[in-house]
Chain A
Amino acid sequence: MTPDQPIIDWAWVGRNLDLLLEKTGEHALITVLSVLIGLAIAIPLTITVRRWRPLVGPVLGFTGALYVIPSLALFAFLIPITGLSLTTTLIAMVGYTLLILIRNTLAGLDGVTPELVDVATGLGYGPGQRLWRIEAPLALPVIMAGIRLATVSTIGLVAVAGIIGQGGLGDVIINLGIHAFFATPIIIGTILAATLALAADAGLLALQRALSPWAGRRAVDG
Chain B
Amino acid sequence: MIAFLGELGAWFTDPAHWTGNDSIPLRLGEHIGLSVGGLGLAMLVAIPLGLFIGHTGRGTAVVVSASTIGRAIPSVAILGLAFPVTLTLGWGLGVPPTLLALMILAIPPILTNLYVGLREVDPELRDAATGSGMSGRQLLRRVEWPLALPLVLAGMRTAAVTVVATATIGAILSTGGLGRYIIDGIAQQDYPKMVAGAVLVMLLAFAVEGLFAIIQRRAVSPGLQRQAGPGGVLATPEGRAGGG
Residues of A at the B interface (CB closer than 8 Å) are: 1, 3, 56-57, 60, 65, 67-77, 79-80, 84, 96, 100, 103-104, 106-107, 110, 142, 149, 152-160, 162-164, 167, 169-170, 173-174, 177-179, 183, 186-187, 189-190, 193-194, 197-198, 201, 222
Contact = CB atoms under 8 A, between A and B. Distances in A.
Contact of B161 (A68, A72, A163, A197): A68
A76 B196 CA distance: 9
B233 to A, nearest CB: 5
B168 A72 contact: yes
Interface in B165-187: 165-166, 168-169, 172-173, 179, 182-183, 185-186
A162 B76 contact: yes
22 contacts: A56-B230, A69-B202, A69-B205, A70-B205, A72-B165, A72-B168, A72-B182, A73-B201, A75-B182, A79-B194, A80-B191, A104-B234, A107-B232, A156-B243, A163-B183, A174-B76, A174-B80, A174-B172, A190-B77, A197-B71, A197-B72, A197-B73
Interface in B224-244: 230-234, 237, 239-240, 242-244
A215 to B, nearest CB: 15
B7 to A, nearest CB: 10
Nearest to B195: A76
Q: Which of A107, A159, A183 has the most CB of B within 10 A?
A: A159
A52 to B, nearest CB: 13
Interface residues of B, number: 52
Given A56-B230, A71-B244, A194-B77, A77 B186 contact: no
Given A160-B244, A163-B186, A174-B172, 10 more contacts: A60-B230, A71-B243, A100-B239, A104-B234, A107-B231, A156-B76, A159-B76, A179-B172, A186-B84, A194-B73
Contact of B186 (A67, A104, A164, A179): A164
Interface of A is mostly: helix
Contact of A156 (B75, B191, B201): B75
A152 B71 contact: yes
A1 B77 CA distance: 16
A59 to B, nearest CB: 8
A79 B4 CA distance: 13
Given A106-B231, A142-B233, A149-B239, A77 B198 contact: yes
B80 A186 contact: yes
A103 B172 contact: no
Given A103-B231, A156-B73, A163-B186, A70 B84 contact: no
B88 interface: yes
B76 A173 contact: yes
A76 B240 contact: no
B81 interface: yes
Contacts of B83: 1, 178, 186
B52 to A, nearest CB: 25
A159 B239 CA distance: 18
A194 B79 CA distance: 14
A101 B200 CA distance: 28
A68 B209 contact: yes
B87 interface: yes
B40 interface: no
Contact of A68 (B169, B199, B206, B243): B206
B80 A173 contact: yes
A194 B71 CA distance: 9
Contacts of A183: 84
B164 interface: yes
Nearest to B161: A68
B38 interface: no
